[in-house]
Structure 1
C-alpha cells in the first residue's frame, strides 16, 4: 500500500538537516560525518562558516598530492588534518590564501573540481553544467568565489534558485487551478517527478527576477511580456536539504538552499508549453488534485514545500485544516547559518 505523506512529512523531507537546539541527538549523530567549511576576511578576523563538507569529500581533498594542489593555486602547506582534528573545520581561506581576488579563487577551485571530475572521484560531478554559482562572504553583496553548479554539494555551500507557481483563478467562483509540469524522464535529477510551473538555479551575477523570466521562457514558453507584467514577488523560503539517490550522484550531500518565490496569475488562454526538454508536459490541476499528488510524494522535495507556501499564502492551508500549521510555516523560513543575500531579505531573521 502506497504511503500517504502528511504536509509535515513533506517539510521533513526537504528541510531534513537536524536542528542543533531542538534535535540535539540527531544533530550530534549527523554532524560527526561533517566538517564546517570556514572563511576569514583577514588574518586577525574571526573565521565564520560558509558550508558543510562531508568527511568523504575531505578525505579526497587531503589525498591530493601537494604538487597538484600547488598547480591548482591552492596552498599545499596548510595542515588540513590538524584543523579537522582540532575544530572539525576546513579553513578554506587558508587553502585559498595565495589567491587574493574573487576570479582567482574561482579559477583555483574550478581546477580542483575539474581534477575530481576527470578522476571520476564523485558521481555528482557527472552532472557538470558549466554554470557558476555564487558563494558569499559576511559583507553585504561580497562574492568570495563561484563554484561549478554540480560541485556545490562538495562544499555544502548555500544554493540559490527561483520558483514560480502559475495558476488560473475563476473570476466567478475564485477556484484556483495550478499549472503543474512533469519533469522529463531523462533528467539527471528527479526524473519524471512533478515540479513547480517554473524553477531554476541562480547563477553568479544573475538577478532573481530576471532568472525567473528567463526560466519561464526556456521551460514553459511563457511570453516575456505576460510574465513581467503579472509575476508577483513573494519573498524567499529557506531550508537545509540532504540529498538522496534521486538528486543525481551520491546521497547525503547537505544543501542549504534559498529560493526566491513568485506567483503568476494567468488568463485561461495562456497555456505553458515545454520548450527546452526539461519538462515533459504540463497539466492544469485543481487544488484537490495537487493535494493528492503531494500526499503521494510525487513532487520534487523542494517543489512540494513551495506549493505548501502557496497554499498558506492563498488561505488554502490554515490552522483550522492543518494541525501542524505553525511548524510548517516556521520551517519554510529556516535561519541558515551561512552568510548571503538570504539574510538581507529579512524573512530568515
Structure 2
C-alpha cells in the first residue's frame, strides 16, 4: 500500500482536486496535475457522452474558459461530496486509485442538475516530493438533465435513489415500494415491470455492456388514458423513468414510417401514448370526438390492434432497444 504519509497525501489530493474545480479555484486545481503533454483526461457523462482530452495545455485552457463563463462556486458539491470504496496502490513514485464520489445532487449554476454518483480512477506521479495527477478517468453515473423524473435501481429492482425525486415518483398512485423494491400495484403490470428490470440488468451481465430502453405499458379501458413508464440501462446503470417524452417520440417517429401513419394520425397516436384519453385527445387537437375516434380506428387498422393499450405497446416497440436482441415493450 505504501507508507501512511503517501496514502494521506494522495487522499488529500483527490479531495483538493474536487474542491478546487467546484469552488472555481484555478490555481489550486492547477497544482493537482502534471503540466505535461502526456496528461490525459478521459471519461463519459450523461450530457455529452464519451470525451477524450490530451495534454496540460488543452485541458487547462478548457477549464479556464469554463470558469470564466461560470465563475460561481458550488460549495455543496465541493464540500458535501463523499469519497467511497477507495482502492489505492502505491509503488515507488507511481500510484493509482479507483473510487466513487457520491455528490449531494441538486441544481448547480442555476438550473443544471449536478451529478449524484461518479466512478473515478487516477494515475499519480511523484514530482519533487509531491504527488500529481497524470491520468484522470471519470464515469458519470447520472442521467441527462432533461426534466424527466428517474429513479436509479439495482439489478434486483431495489431503489437506490433518495430524496425529492423518490417522493415525486411515488406520488403516482399506481407505484409503490415493497421490501425496498419498486413495484406496480396492478399485478399484471408489475410482472411487466419486473421483466423489464431483469432485461435491463441482463444488458450489463456480459464483458461488454449494452444500452437501451423498454416501455412498460399499463392497460386501460377503451377510450381511457394509457400509462407508460420506461426502464433503461446505460453505462451499467438501471433507471426507471416517468414521462420520458424523448424516448416515446423517438419510437413514434419510427412507427409512423413503418405503419404509414399520416401526420394527423401521428399526432393522435402521440397523445394517446402520452397518457391522454380519447376525449382529451380531441380537446387538445381541437377536433370532434368522432373525428378523433375515426383517426384512432384507422391507426388500429394499419397496426392490426384493437385497443389503445395494445396500440401503445406496438408503436413503442418499433425500435429494438439493443442491436443484439429485440425486446419490444412490456
Bigger RCO (CA 8 Å, 6+ sep): 1
Establish whether TM, by shorter chain, passes 0.5.
no
TM-score, length of structure 1 as denominator length:
0.27
TM-score, normalised by the number of residues in structure 2:
0.28
Higher-strand-fraction structure = 2
